[in-house]
């Protein structure tokens, strides 16, 4: 993967779970988003039970609204969740994913 040329062009997303509940809302997880250009990160309190839509809304309100839409999002989470997150995010952006096959005769 090539190095990003601009801030927030390529990001990593990961969830830290298993935390002791804290704060007024008893958050028990944290969503960590790292800008691969500046190596800076943003952490957002979260509930482990939150849905892919909750994650998409948090991402929309805190990353897209302030930094723009990243070209590449790298995330490590089970496939069903990332698929639902991506679907929700595409819906919010008013975009449809386009898929291709590996074989192009």
Domain boundaries, the chain: 10-93
pLDDT at 9 over 70: yes
Q: Who wins on pLDDT, 87 or 33?
A: 33
Distance separating alpha carbons of residues 19 and 102, to the nearest angstrom: 41
Q: What is the DSSP letter of 63?
A: I
CATH of 10-93, picked from 3.100.10.10, 3.30.420.10, 3.40.50.1100, 3.40.50.300, is: 3.30.420.10
Distances (CA, A) of 13 to 52, 57, 59, 89: 13, 14, 10, 14
pLDDT at 12 over 50: yes
- Predicted confidence at residue 104, as pLDDT, reads 47
């Amino acid at each position: 993967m090539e190095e990003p040329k601009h801030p927030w062009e390529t990001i990593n997303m990961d969830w830290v779970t298993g935390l002791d509940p804290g704060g007024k809302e008893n958050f028990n997880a944290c969503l960590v988003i790292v800008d691969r250009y500046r190596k800076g990160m943003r952490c957002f309190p979260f509930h482990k039970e939150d849905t892919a839509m909750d994650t998409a809304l948090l991402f929309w309100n805190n990353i897209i609204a302030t930094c723009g839409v990243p070209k590449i999002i790298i995330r490590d989470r089970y496939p069903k969740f990332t698929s639902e997150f991506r679907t929700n995010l595409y819906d919010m952006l008013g975009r449809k994913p386009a898929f291709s096959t590996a074989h192009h005769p």
